[in-house]
Amino acid sequence: MDRTLFQEEHNIFRDAVRKFLEKEVVPFHEQWEKDGICPRELYQKAGEMGFLCPWLPEEYGGSGVDFLYSTIINEECVYARNSGFMMGLHSDVVVPYIFSFGNEEQKKKWLPGCASGELISAVAMTEPGAGSDLASIKTTAVKDGDDYIINGQKTFISNGILCDVCVVAVKTDTKADPPHTGVSLIVVEAGTPGFEKGRNLEKIGMHAQDTAELFFEDCRVPKANLLGDEGMGFIYLMQKLQQERLVCSIAAQAGAEQVLKDAMKYTKERVLFGKPLSKFQNTRFKLAEMATEVEIGRAFVDRLIVEHIAGKNVLTETCMAKWWTTEMLKRACDEALQLHGGYGYMMEYNIAKDFLNARVQTIYAGTTEVMKEIIGRQMGL
C-alpha cells in the first residue's frame, strides 16, 4: 500500500535512521542477544543523531517534530530486527510522563539527558502480584519530612538494568477508595540507596532486551521527584496509554509486513516436488490471507497515527489496534514459520526469532483480554 503520511523530509529522516541501525545495531545484535542486554553507549550514539525523543521541544534537547518521526524510528527498529535497543519505550512511552506531568524543575533536570541518551529511562508499574490489575499494586511511598520512603518490588521492567531514571508507580495512599486514587508516580534515580536492580530475567524472546526485577527497601526519594499530584498516577498512566498502544500497533504492523515479505521470498526460492513452494495452492492461500490482513492493519494503523497527531481521543481505537495487530503478527509468524518447514524452527532463520519475539506483544502494554475489556466498556457493555 502506498502510504500518504510521509513527506520528503520524513523519507530523508527514515534513510538516516535506517543507516544508523545498519551500522550501529544490526552487526552487533546477535552478541547482545547472548549478553541479554545492549550497551548503554548506544543511547548516546542515537542521542547525538537526534533519534531519541525527537518530539521534545528544542529547549529540552529535542527537535520539536511530530509523532511521524517516532513512527519512522519505531518502524525502522522492526525492519532492522532490533529487539534490544528500546528507543520506542524510552522516547515515546516513558519520557512523555516526565514531559507531560513533570514540573519545570523536573523537566530541566531529566529531559535533556533523556534526549542526549545520557539518561536511560524505564517505567515500573508491574509487580509480582499486580499486572493487569494495576490498582492493586503494593509498593508504597510514605511521606517522611521532605522525602518519600519507598518499599516494594517491581518485575518484568524493560530497561530495568540499564535505566538511570525510573518512573515508578507507587501507592501513596493504601486506604484510598477506589484503590486507583491512591496511585502516584515517582521518579527514582539509579544509585539511590535502597533502590536495587535484581535479576535480568531470562525470556523466551527479545533476548537483547534487559527485563528486570527492581527492589525498593526503605528507599528515600525527595518529594520533589513526585510527578504531578499525589493520587493522580493511575489517571496519568491512562492518559498516556493511547500513545503506548499506538506504538505497539505500529511495531506489530511493521513486523507483520516484514514477515510476509520474507515468507514470499522464501516460498519462491524453496523448491519441492519440482516446483516452488509458492506455487502450491495452500501457500498462495496462506500468503493471500496474510497479505489481506496486513493491508487491513496498515489502513487502520495509519488512520490512527493521523488522528493521534491531530490530538483526537482514539483510546478505544488504539486498544482495538493493539490487540488486533499483535494477534495478527502472532498468526503471521506462526503461518510463516510453518511455510519454512524445519528451517523455520532453526534460530539462524529470521522467522524463528520473529516468532519468539512476537509472542510477548499480545501481553505487554496491556494484554489482548484487557484491551477487549476496555473496548467492551467503551461500547457500554
Ligand X SMILES: Cc1cc2nc3c(=O)[nH]c(=O)nc-3n(C[C@H](O)[C@H](O)[C@H](O)COP(=O)(O)OP(=O)(O)OC[C@H]3O[C@@H](n4cnc5c(N)ncnc54)[C@H](O)[C@@H]3O)c2cc1C
| Phi/psi of residue 365, nearest 5 degrees | 60, 30
Residue with smaller CB distance to ligand X, 20 or 85: 85
Cβ distance to ligand X smaller for residue 68 or 186: 186
**Is the distance from CB of 299 to CB of 225 less than 8 angstroms?**
no
Binding site for ligand X (CB under 6 A): 122-126, 131-132, 156-158, 203, 206, 211, 360, 363-364, 367, 369-370, 373
Catalytic residue among 24, 244, 257, 317: 244
- Least distance in angstroms from the C-beta of 324 to ligand X: 15
Nearer to ligand X, 157 or 247 (CB): 157
Cell numbers of 252, please? 506489530
CB 230 within 8 A of CB 180: no
The Cα–Cα gap between 66 and 243 comes to 13
User: Is residue 244 annotated as a catalytic residue, yes or no?
Assistant: yes
Give whichever of 208 and 290 is closer to ligand X, judged by the CB atom: 208
HEC secondary structure over the chain: CCCCCCCHHHHHHHHHHHHHHHHHCHHHHHHHHHHCCCCCHHHHHHHHCCCCCCCCCHHHCCCCCCHHHHHHHHHHHHHCCCCCCCHHHHHHHHHHHHHHHCCHHHHHHHHHHHHHCCCCEEEECCECCECCCHHHCCCEEEEECCEEEEEEEEEEEECCCCCCEEEEEEECCCCCCCHHHHEEEEEEECCCCCEEEEEECCCCCCCCCCEEEEEEEEEEEEHHHEECCCCCHHHHHHHHHHHHHHHHHHHHHHHHHHHHHHHHHHHHHCEECCEEHHHCHHHHHHHHHHHHHHHHHHHHHHHHHHHHHCCCCCHHHHHHHHHHHHHHHHHHHHHHHHHCHHHHHCCCCHHHHHHHHHHHHHCCCCCHHHHHHHHHHHCCC
Report the C-alpha gap between 14 and 74 in whole angstroms: 10
Minimum distance from residue 203 beta carbon to ligand X (Å): 6
The minimum distance between CB 271 and ligand X, in angstroms, equals: 38
Residue 63 vs 239, nearer CB to ligand X: 239
CB of 252 to ligand X, least distance (A): 14
Minimum distance of ligand X from residue 369's CB (angstroms): 3
If the CB atoms of residues 56 and 166 are measured against ligand X, the closer one turns out to be 166
- Find the shortest distance in angstroms from Cβ 163 to ligand X: 9
- How far from the centroid of its chain's Cα atoms is residue 357's Cα? 12
Cell of 287: 500468503
Minimum distance, C-beta of residue 171 to ligand X, in the bound complex (Å) = 15
C-beta closer to ligand X: residue 139 or 283: 139
Residues tagged active-site: 244
